[in-house]
Amino acid sequence: MRDTVLREHICLLAKSMFDRGLTGGSTGNISARTEDGGLLVSPTGTSFGRLDPARLSHFDIAGKLIGGDEPTKEMPLHQAFYDTRSTAGAVVHLHSCHSVALSMLPETDPDNFLPPLTPYGIMKLGRVKLLPFFMPGDPAMGDAVRGLAGKRSAVMLANHGPVVAGKDIEAACNAVEELEDTARLAMMLRGMSARALTDDQVQGLVSKFDIEWDD
């Protein structure tokens, strides 16, 4: 995707998520690979609802800032995904309400954050890792992602928000929205005797769609 088109696409998708309440105020950040191997990144302190294509932070392939405004303080988090997952073409981090709520519940499984409620949560995300709480901007968040050795495409930062890597900007945005939708279902069904997918059904999906399902 050409640089100018990619810039417009990043801002269009970010505004769509903002308009639907998936991240508010000046929260969240988004990045995508350029054709030449560089990165376009949302600047620090900006709102998903008002990103300016011309002011996106622009990094070259060596990681040097060559244009735009100063990048999000969560750059170490984004860079960790790009460095450990060769398939990562975009990374999205939101402060979405239901996923954050689910991260606070003591019964939530840290190694498999999302309950298996629908096939699409599994197909788009694989197994989601719940990471502990970090101070915003703490480089240790990137270290925690690196510690997963590229085995997870999505993590949930406890009390903070989800972070998802995808092959391109569309895939990353679709996946993070699926994460929030599944978390919303989990919160809606809490305390009810809901019928989740069985282990056999989950394994059937993993096999049929060749899903990363690290133990």
Pick the closest to residue 40 from 94, 85, 76, 4 (CA basis). 4
Residue 161 and residue 23 in contact, taking contact as beta carbons nearer than 8 Å: yes
The SS3 call for residue 65 is strand
User: Measured on CA atoms in the order 117, 118, 122, 128, is the torsion positive or negative?
Assistant: negative
The rounded distance, in Å, linking the Cα atoms of 59 and 68 is: 9
Residue 173 per-residue DSSP state = H
Active-site residues, by number, are 74, 120
Residue 206 to residues 85, 116, 212, 213: CA-CA distances in angstroms?
Answer: 19, 12, 7, 7
Of 119, 121, 131, residue with least CA distance to 81: 131
